[in-house]
Amino acid sequence: MKKFLAVTLGILTAIGGFVDMGDLVANAQTGSRFGLSLAGVVVIGVLGIVVFAEMAGRVAAVTRRAVFDLVRERLGPRMGLINLIASFFINLLTLTAEIAGVAISVGLLISVSYVLLIPLAAFLVWLVLWRMPFEWMERFFGLLGLVLIVFVVSVFKLGPDWGDLASQATHPAVPEHESLATVAFFAIALLGAAMTPYEVFFFSSGAVEEHWSTGDLNVNRANVFIGFTLGGVLSIAIMACASLVLQPADVQVDTLPQVALPVAVAMGRVGLAVVLLGIFAATFGAALETALSAGYSVAQYFGWQWGKFVKARDAARFHVVMLGSVVVAALVGMTAVDPVKVTEYSIVLSAAALPLTYLPILIVANDPEFMGDHVNGRLANFFGSIYLVLLLVVSVAAVPLIIITKGGSG
């Protein structure tokens, strides 16, 4: 019974923790522009993160080694360093966007300009990182993030033509006033939002933080297969809400409150309050995860002691990297850069950097010397290989598409 509760709690946390600023923005934007015609990309993205997070969690449970540890070992110091610099930069962009998301959601609730709230949001993020135990932190924000189910409820409340939604989702097409490049740009954004590298850095390091062993492989599978899949359902609900309310009104999403608008239309003030709470929890949780990932990746590259499972004084460099990242992200956010643009760039660049992170995971998950009986099965390798090819194509196309479409605005 206790085991069952722990597994359930893990799944709920995984669902609530799945959505972040990138998912909120990318799904609402594509919903408002293309209806549900890109919903299939979300499915592809969610399956991709399921495949690689399961491998990364399994490797961490069996060997106690997290993803960036493997990156350095399998890519060598030079390629590993290039990956570290790229991932760290993307992580900082994501952290900037998440902290802005926290400030915006609180700012709407108390009617204060979000830029003024950024220092406070950043300080709270850092305080939680410095003092709150890992499991409490993960569970509190994960469970609070579950209120985003309000997007699913809203879809029902809006009373859509289900046949029409289904036909949009199963007939992807380029709308007449949009170019193929623009559609491709947003497809990559959706993929990047679902599969951001920080998710596997965080998930695998979290497995080590929680002292997973081979006995926890079932928990790993349950969290990933059920939790992440249901998290993907939330993503599609956000897209559906935008397509039902914003697309007919010809509203294009370029601010975070517009993401919440359909819920307000469907469910009134209470709905709006709940969705803002959900956005707060999702972005706060993701700010913690990205800041931790900044620390994890640097510390694991150099072999420093890391983790919240030791006292802060015993992992001083790790904590200072996190503190520095939060400060830089807050300073960038306070220049009033457009948080939605920052989010877009962070997820498209994430997609570009994915192969460098996922290749080492696939290699190590196949190494019997590391994994013993827990090496990849045929299914994991089949999907792992297909995704690596797909991600290589995406990686080559991402930056040219940013230029051609002027960051999706073309």
Partner 1 sequence: MTARPHVLYAGLHLLDRQLVDADGMLAGKVDDLELEPDGTETDGTGPPPPLIVRSICFGHGALWRRLGSGRLGSWLEQRHDHPRERIAHLPLSRVDRIGPSIVVTARHEDLATYDTEQWVRDHVTAHIKGSTHATE
Residues that bind partner 1 (CB under 8 A): 62-65, 69, 72-73, 76-78, 80-81, 130-135, 299, 302-306, 308-314, 316-317, 319-320, 323, 368-372
Nearer Cβ to partner 1 (77/248): 77
DSSP per residue over 105-165, as a string? Answer: HHHHHHT--HHHHHHHHHHHHHHHHHHS-HHHHHHHHHHHHGGGGHHHHHHHHT---HHHH
Whole-number minimum distance, CB 302 to partner 1, in Å? Answer: 7
Phi-psi group of 336: left, alpha or beta (phi > 0 → left; psi -120 to 50 → alpha; rest → beta) = left
Nearer Cβ to partner 1 (320/389): 320
CB atoms within 10 A of CB 161: 10
Whole-number minimum distance, CB 139 to partner 1, in Å? Answer: 14
Whole-number minimum distance, CB 304 to partner 1, in Å? Answer: 7
CB 160 within 8 A of CB 244: yes
Nearer Cβ to partner 1 (132/222): 132
CB 149 within 8 A of CB 263: no
Whole-number minimum distance, CB 333 to partner 1, in Å? Answer: 22
Residue for token digits 């924000």?
A: 141
CB atoms within 10 A of CB 218: 10
Token digits for 8? 């359930």
Rg (CA), the chain: 20
Nearer Cβ to partner 1 (18/296): 296
Whole-number minimum distance, CB 401 to partner 1, in Å? Answer: 32
Nearer Cβ to partner 1 (307/333): 307
Phi and psi torsions of 108, nearest 5°: -70, -35
Nearer Cβ to partner 1 (135/254): 135
Q: Give the integer Cα–Cα distance in Å for 308 and 297.
A: 14
Whole-number minimum distance, CB 210 to partner 1, in Å? Answer: 10
Burial level of 328, CB count in 10 A (0-12/13-18/19+)?
middle
Whole-number minimum distance, CB 220 to partner 1, in Å? Answer: 17
Whole-number minimum distance, CB 294 to partner 1, in Å? Answer: 15
Q: Give the integer Cα–Cα distance in Å for 373 and 371.
A: 6
CB 41 within 8 A of CB 198: no
Nearer Cβ to partner 1 (129/347): 129
CB 236 within 8 A of CB 92: no
Nearer Cβ to partner 1 (89/309): 309
